[in-house]
Structure 1
Amino acid sequence: MFTYYIFYYEFTEKLNELYEKVVTEIRKISPTRIIIISPRIRSGADYLKELKIPTKSNGYIMAEWHFYASGPSKTNEKKLWTTGTEEEKQLITNKINIALEWQKNTGIPTWVGAWMPSNYNDGNDYSINEQVKFAKYMSKQLYNVGIPFAVNSDTKFYNREFNKWVEETQPVFESIFSNK
């Protein structure tokens, strides 16, 4: 356990050093480019607090974080979603609140770089109705607090090869964008 902690502490320090150098160099050629930084370990909101804000960030910086990037789970307690119980909803709002608190403390906006309405990569065992319920709750919570987001994977909603919407998942797509 001690070795594990040392490794991630050193990794975090190196990551912060890298951000400091990269942001400094980018500012030399583009003073107002928006630069997005992200914490370690799958860009989890819990790790935003470890980010050291680069000295040259000058107000043109954001932080990106993920949760449910590979979708909800019917068994994993960290991203549990079965029927949308209060406890399951609280898992989502807790992560959002962590990011909001970090935003408040730093003055730096965040965005969710990835969440997925089903566990598409791990069996996709959520019905369309279950996906709609999850997606509606997730997107509404993010819209309500003004955190922009990206949804994995667009190919579940749009077939690029045939330039057509995937009809089966249209209710999920609509549930994501009907919360505006």
Structure 2
Amino acid sequence: MICVRTTVLKPIVSLLLLASATVCAAQPALTAAQYAQQLGVGMDVDWARTDRGIREFDPLVVRDYKAKGLTHVRIRVAGEPTEARLIHLRKLVEACEQYGVIPIITYQADEYKKDPSAGNEKEVVNWWVAVAHYFGQNSPLLGFDLIYDPSDKLIHNQASLNRVYDKTIRTIHAIDPQRMIFIAPRLHSAPEDLLNLKLPPQSQNTVLAQWHIFPWGPLKNNGKYPWTSGTAAEKAAIRARINTAIHWQQKTGHVSWVGGWSPGETIRNAPSASQMAFARFMACELKKAKIPYAINADTQFYDGEEGAWRPALEPLLTTMIAPECEKPGDKPGHHTLKPPVPDATRVTPAEASKQKSTAP
């Protein structure tokens, strides 16, 4: 009796397992649009670029970022993909996975940006081949931002940039078809240049655009600042640039990400009222447009040596991450900024040092 029952059940169990496996295999992969929604607000970081950034990095820093409301980091990398550098990148990615922060690796490609020759084009492709093979199909939320801020040298070399993007995307996706990849236009601070990007056919689910707006704040141009007190004309000009990106997204079916913006230099000074107003406006407009963004940059707001946020800049950072935005029906300009909420998980430099010394 038992033997018969076992014999009958075995095929049934096998069928159930097969059906389960089929259902799992049929589950849709994460799309670029879904990925962009998860990015939220992040920050540009030098954890793998400068000697100081590499030396000061501790996994607990990622926990501090997550506690502050940051949900992705744009990890800038320079230099050859040596074994030591790849191991360090894996350490960063694993820390991000541990604390629920999405990592995006972005390559500086300094030599290529100075001289977009055939040899330097190949160097960029080879760099990403090494990184793509190293991570394989692991860390599915890890994104690759192919060239950190294309330079002025590339303004007249659209064909070269398109070649590098095409070769690199095809190579990476041969290794991992689901890897999320970002590409930026020649004029990385101009959403107007998005239309010059040559995007692979049917790549809407895996290729995103990266562009900037005010990467170092509203700097003077032709004797004028694009932001003073937030006049109606200044706000309209910024909205027009964001709308350019929105229209490009609607036309192409691709989504985009602002890889960095800033209210200006603030390390040595407390933020001005003008900077606070600009930060609030920019953050609210990008959130309204549902475009994820990264804040530029980590050393402005976080003291890696102390393992703590810079107190004078926390109100500004809070505004950039979670602004109090006007709601439909509000009178223009009628709002109050809430004081930053105390960070319950924040530790003192002494406690952080103690935790770091006992961390595995």
Is residue 314 of structure 2 the alignment partner of residue 179 of structure 1?
A: no
CA distance in 2, matches of 1:68, 1:56: 31
**Alignment partner of 2:216: what SS?**
coil
* TM-score of the aligned structures, taking structure 1 as reference length: 0.85
CA distance in 2, matches of 1:10, 1:158: 37
CA distance in 2, matches of 1:126, 1:72: 17
Superposition pairs of residues 70-81 of structure 1, within 5 angstroms: 70-73=216-219, 80-81=226-227
CA distance in 1, matches of 2:161, 2:254: 18
The structure whose residues are more often helix, as a share, is 1
**Alignment partner of 2:174: what SS?**
helix
CA distance in 2, matches of 1:19, 1:128: 40
Alignment-derived partner of residue 148 in structure 2: none
Superposition pairs of residues 117-156 of structure 1, within 5 angstroms: 117-120=263-266, 127-156=271-300
Structure 1 residues without counterparts, runs of 5 or longer: 1-6
Give yes or no for contact 2:283–2:323 (8 Å, CA) kept in 1.
yes
Alignment-derived partner of residue 194 in structure 2: 48
Query: Amino acid of the residue matched to residue 160 of structure 1?
Result: G
CA distance in 2, matches of 1:82, 1:170: 22
Query: Amino acid of the residue matched to residue 206 of structure 2?
Result: Y
Moved more, 141-150 or 112-121: 112-121
Alignment-derived partner of residue 170 in structure 1: 314
The alignment's C-alpha RMSD in Å is 2.5
Deviation at residue 130 of structure 1 after TM alignment: 1.7
Match of 2:302 among 139, 142, 158: 158
**Judging changes above 3 Å, is the alpha-carbon distance between structure 1 residues 157 and 119 closer, same or farther for their aligned structure 2 residues?**
closer
* TM-score of the aligned structures, taking structure 2 as reference length: 0.44
**Judging changes above 3 Å, is the alpha-carbon distance between structure 1 residues 74 and 23 closer, same or farther for their aligned structure 2 residues?**
closer
**Judging changes above 3 Å, is the alpha-carbon distance between structure 1 residues 81 and 43 closer, same or farther for their aligned structure 2 residues?**
closer
Q: Which runs of 4 or more aligned residues in structure 1 lie more than 4 Å from their structure 2 counterparts after TM superposition? A: 7-10, 74-79, 124-127
**Judging changes above 3 Å, is the alpha-carbon distance between structure 1 residues 107 and 171 closer, same or farther for their aligned structure 2 residues?**
same
Query: Amino acid of the residue matched to residue 141 of structure 1?
Result: E
Alignment-derived partner of residue 19 in structure 1: 165
**Judging changes above 3 Å, is the alpha-carbon distance between structure 1 residues 158 and 60 closer, same or farther for their aligned structure 2 residues?**
same
CA distance in 2, matches of 1:147, 1:130: 23
CA distance in 2, matches of 1:61, 1:136: 29
**Judging changes above 3 Å, is the alpha-carbon distance between structure 1 residues 34 and 79 closer, same or farther for their aligned structure 2 residues?**
farther
Give yes or no for contact 2:260–2:296 (8 Å, CA) kept in 1.
yes
**Judging changes above 3 Å, is the alpha-carbon distance between structure 1 residues 135 and 156 closer, same or farther for their aligned structure 2 residues?**
same
Deviation at residue 75 of structure 1 after TM alignment: 5.7
Alignment-derived partner of residue 32 in structure 1: 178
Deviation at residue 62 of structure 1 after TM alignment: 0.4
CA distance in 2, matches of 1:120, 1:164: 17
Give yes or no for contact 1:71–1:120 (8 Å, CA) kept in 2.
no
Question: 1:121-142 CA distances to partner (integer Å, 9 max, x unpaired)?
Answer: 9xx8994322111100000000
**Alignment partner of 1:25: what SS?**
helix
CA distance in 2, matches of 1:78, 1:42: 21
CA distance in 2, matches of 1:76, 1:116: 20
CA distance in 1, matches of 2:276, 2:257: 22
Seq. identity, %: 35
Deviation at residue 42 of structure 1 after TM alignment: 3.1
Question: 1:68-107 CA distances to partner (integer Å, 9 max, x unpaired)?
Answer: 0011135657861110001111221111111001100111
Alignment-derived partner of residue 354 in structure 2: none
